[in-house]
């Protein structure tokens, strides 16, 4: 049995690999990376390093050759680029006759109003079309995504949001990584969809926990999308990033991440890391 993790030098991928190495012999694990030099440490530990560039489909044929179980970690970039890259990976997996594909998707991907869901909807459909058994790991939101807000709170700034009363299932990236590792190395996950996330919280509820951990009061400033964009611009957020952040806030406000599920606990075999503990680990 040979498993492969794509994007293994990225933040999530690196965590997945480390979790796998606790229970899986290194000889059964391979990774595909755009820059093998960055994976030298894994090679020294017995992990097979393969060149795999989602923008160069020919590299994926050799990267996925002989692989039984594949974890495709979604890439970064604009929607059009990501759909193309993911399609390249899925088609290469089919050519390589991979027996199982796990994919890091997004909450309620097939019906979500969140603009980022377009990528995941297309990728899920491409995987289903191959006929290869799959598991869609629909990750809600990383607690680490809020680091800039947390740093702002520490500096005395309010928690700025236009998300209204929308709720989010924040969880530590490590928990998502542990869940992905459990699916890739486990059994009985064929043709499954897991909605992964922590307990649902509003912005006010998260800010309150942040305040408790920091030992300060964190006021929440609810604004409209236009004002949110102005505040982000004044905070030197790059212009091209602001519409992305506004879109995320709108999606949260519309309930795009408000999916109640115990799937994360099920895959972890334990409760998700409490938000307060998670915050202490990343602050």
Domains of the chain as residue ranges with CATH: 3-139+172-196+259-270 (3.40.50.720)
Q: How far is CA 50 from CA 9, 35, 75, 123, 143, in A?
A: 12, 9, 17, 23, 30
Tell me how far apart the alpha carbons of residues 199 and 249 are, in angstroms, rounded to a whole number: 18
> Are 15 and 173 within 8 A, CB to CB?
yes
Question: With pLDDT > 90 as the criterion, what percentage of the chain qualifies?
Answer: 99
pLDDT of residue 269: 97
State the average pLDDT over residues 90-96. Answer: 98
Q: What is the pLDDT of residues 183-216, one digit of tens each?
A: 999 999 999 999 999 999 999 999 999 999 999 9
Tokens representing 67 are 């692989």
Tell me how far apart the alpha carbons of residues 128 and 106 are, in angstroms, rounded to a whole number: 16
Question: With pLDDT > 70 as the criterion, what percentage of the chain qualifies?
Answer: 100
State the average pLDDT over residues 5-22. Answer: 97
State the average pLDDT over residues 103-124. Answer: 97
Tell me how far apart the alpha carbons of residues 166 and 143 are, in angstroms, rounded to a whole number: 16
pLDDT of residue 199: 97
Kindly report the pTM of this predicted structure.
Answer: 0.97
């Amino acid at each position: 049995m040979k498993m492969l993790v794509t994007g293994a030098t990225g933040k999530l991928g690196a965590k997945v690999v480390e979790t796998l190495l606790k229970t899986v012999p290194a000889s059964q694990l391979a990774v595909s990376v755009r820059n093998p030099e960055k994976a030298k440490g894994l090679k020294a530990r017995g992990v097979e390093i393969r060149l795999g560039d989602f923008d160069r489909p020919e590299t994926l044929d050799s990267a996925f050759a002989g692989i039984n179980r594949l974890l495709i970690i979604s890439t970064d970039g604009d929607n059009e680029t990501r759909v193309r890259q993911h399609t390249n990976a899925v088609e290469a997996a089919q050519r390589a006759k991979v027996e199982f594909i796990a994919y890091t998707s997004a909450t309620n991907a097939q019906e979500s109003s969140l603009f980022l869901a377009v990528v995941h909807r297309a990728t899920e459909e491409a995987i289903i079309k191959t006929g290869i058994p799959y598991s869609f790991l629909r990750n809600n939101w990383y607690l680490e995504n809020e680091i800039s807000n947390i740093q702002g709170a520490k500096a005395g700034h309010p928690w700025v949001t236009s998300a209204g009363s929308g709720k989010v299932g924040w969880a530590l990236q490590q928990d998502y990584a542990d869940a992905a590792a459990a699916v890739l190395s486990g059994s009985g996950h064929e043709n499954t969809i897991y909605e992964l996330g922590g307990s649902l919280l509003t912005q006010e509820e998260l800010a309150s926990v942040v305040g408790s951990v920091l030992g300060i009061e964190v006021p929440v400033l609810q604004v409209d999308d236009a004002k949110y964009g102005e505040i982000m611009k004044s905070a030197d957020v790059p212009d091209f990033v602001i519409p992305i952040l506004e879109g995320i806030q709108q999606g949260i406000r519309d309930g795009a991440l408000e999916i109640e599920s115990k799937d994360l606990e099920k895959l972890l075999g334990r409760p998700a890391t409490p938000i307060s503990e998670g915050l202490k680990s990343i602050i």
